Copies of this chain bind each other. A is one copy, B any other.
Amino acid sequence: MPTTVPAETTTIVLDALSFNDAGLIPAIAQQHDSGEVLMMAWMNRDAVRETLETGRVCYFSRSKGRLWRKGEQSGQIQNLIELRWDCDADTLLLMVDQKGVACHTGRRNCFFNAVREGKPSVIADVAVSPDILYGGGPE
């Protein structure tokens, strides 16, 4: 079950957070049980509010310039387990339950590039074809 919180708590959290000059805050999504870091994206106040009140993770897409409900096109949604924020209140850590894959490339997480044995390497395979996820254009 996704976690939802009362509107008055959301207001307290929003007042505590520090958004940047563009009104955004970075949000790291971590799979709550395995600890896998899935992705990093951005939220504005409305995205934080919607995420807390619906229990479904909603980001702000800088490329689209609008709220982006994770999985709205691909079906690969994120349910919120717990929202955390850091000492400076300028970064969020979302403990989530990711359905399927988090990355638009069809990989489980977005961090599939690494330096291994001294060389840039791709360290994760595609689990689901983007064609199946989107049937055309990325999310």
* CB interface residues, A 82-112, toward B, < 8 Å: 82-89, 91, 93, 103-105, 107, 110-112
Question: Contact: B87 with A9, CB < 8 Å?
Answer: no
Closest residue of chain B to A41, judged by CB?
B91
* Bound-state Cα–Cα, A66 to B100, Å: 41
Question: Contact: A114 with B83, CB < 8 Å?
Answer: yes
Which residues on B sit within 8 Å (CB–CB) of A37?
A: 28, 30, 37, 93
CB distance from A63 to the nearest CB of B (A): 10
CB distance from A76 to the nearest CB of B (A): 14
Interface: A6 (CB within 8 A): yes
Question: Contact: A89 with B113, CB < 8 Å?
Answer: yes
Interface: A52 (CB within 8 A): yes
CB distance from A81 to the nearest CB of B (A): 10
Question: Contact: A28 with B40, CB < 8 Å?
Answer: yes
Interface: A12 (CB within 8 A): yes
Most chain-B Cβ atoms within 10 A of its Cβ — which of A35, A52, A91, A115?
A115
A35's partner among B36, B40, B84, B113 (CB-CB below 8 A) is B36
* Bound-state Cα–Cα, A19 to B136, Å: 28
Which residues on B sit within 8 Å (CB–CB) of A104?
A: 87
